[in-house]
Structure formats: C-alpha cells, structure tokens
Amino acid sequence: MIREPESAQAPLLILGKIVSVHGIRGAVKVYSHTQPLDNVLNYPVWILRKGQEQRQMSVISGRLQGRVVVAQLKGVRDRNEALELVDWEICVPESQLPALPEGEYYWHQLEGLQVVTLDGQLLGRVDHLLETGSNDVLVVKPCAGSIDQRERLLPYLPDLYVKHIDLAESVMQVDWDPEF
C-alpha cells in the first residue's frame, strides 16, 4: 500500500491536508491550498507527511465537492485505512510545479524576501501572504536591520506598490511610505 518517497530529500511544498474520510470505500476529504482547489489533483503522486514520517501515494481519482476535494488513493480500500491518513499534509517536490510566466510568482517564492523601499529602507521580510478577495496582502515582519519593529500589511499589487522582485538576491522593492 505505502512506499517510501523517491524524492525524500527534495524540497517539498504543502498543497493541502487530508482532513476527513468520505464514505466507506476509502476516499479522503482534502483541504486544498491550490487555486482552484481541485488543482491538487493535477499531481498524480502525493507525498504525505506527518511529522518526520512520509508516505508516497498515487491518486486514482478525485473531484471537487463543495469546499473540499474528495480523492481516492491507490491501495486505500476502506474507511479504516482512510482514517489512518487524516491530518497528513499533502506535499509535492517543488520541481513538479509548473513554470510561471515572467513576472508571476508562487507565494512560497515571495516568503522570506527582504522588503526594501525605493530609497533603500529595509521594512522587514515577507512572513506570509493573505488572500483578501480584492488582492493578496504581504505580511511584512521586522528583521535584523529593519528600520523599526513594526509589522506591515502591504497590498501585493505589482506595478502599483511592488516595483521589482529579485529572487536571486531575495529582495522585493516596493513603493511604500514607511510611516504608513
């Protein structure tokens, strides 16, 4: 039923989490972090992770059902076997993500970047992003060398506030008033 992941040492990204079981034939309910939610099904092999333990599982089928994805995994034949997978994270190697067009980024690529104003003031680092409906928001927390100890929420609006992103240098340049 379960085998060790081939890419146990590759950087893994969390795409979602198994949150419950569905029915009696071993299907699982998945809370997906992907957009749209059923994009998690685009990956035929999931690496399930709980703590230090990892398991590689193949996806047989799946569908969107409301706000969760219902998936059938190879070798999981009944509800009891599915229950063993509840609370496991669904991961894939970062290398499996599709390439994005120039100027577009995955959220995980932005997390950790230093945020610097146009005049070179360090505001902090991107801790995480929030989805608000109208636009995504960067949560910038202070770090060593930042101008103060304030947490800032900056709209992630390329061309308006986000002027330049350099992943190689881990820097995002923004047009933002540090006093705001």
Catalogue all structural domains in the chain, each as residue range(s) with its CATH number: 12-95 (2.40.30.60), 107-174 (2.30.30.240)
Rounded to two decimals, the pTM is 0.74
pLDDT digits (tens, 9 = 90+) for 38-49: 999 999 999 999
Q: CA 62 to CA 135: how far, in whole Å?
A: 29
Contact partners, residue 64, CB within 8 Å, separation at least 6: 36, 37, 38, 70
Q: How far is CA 164 from CA 59, 111, 118, 160, in A?
A: 38, 15, 10, 11
Which pLDDT value is given to residue 1?
39
The tokens describing 75, both together, are 């070798």
pLDDT surpassing 80 at residue 73: yes
The pLDDT tens digits of the residues spanning 117-174 come to 999 999 999 999 998 888 899 999 999 999 999 999 999 999 899 999 999 999 999 9
Q: Look at residue 133 in the predicted model and tell me its pLDDT.
A: 80
Question: Residue 174: how many CB atoms within 10 A of its CB?
Answer: 25
pLDDT tens figures, 13-36? 999 999 999 999 999 999 999 989
Nearest alpha carbon to residue 138 among 151, 120, 122: 151
Which one, of 70, 17, 74, lies nearest residue 45 by Cα? 74
Task: Tell me the torsion sign for CA atoms 19, 21, 22, 27.
Answer: positive
- Mean pLDDT for 69-89 is 97
Contact assessment for residue 55 and residue 47, using Cβ atoms and an 8 Å cutoff:
yes
The pLDDT value given to residue 9: 61
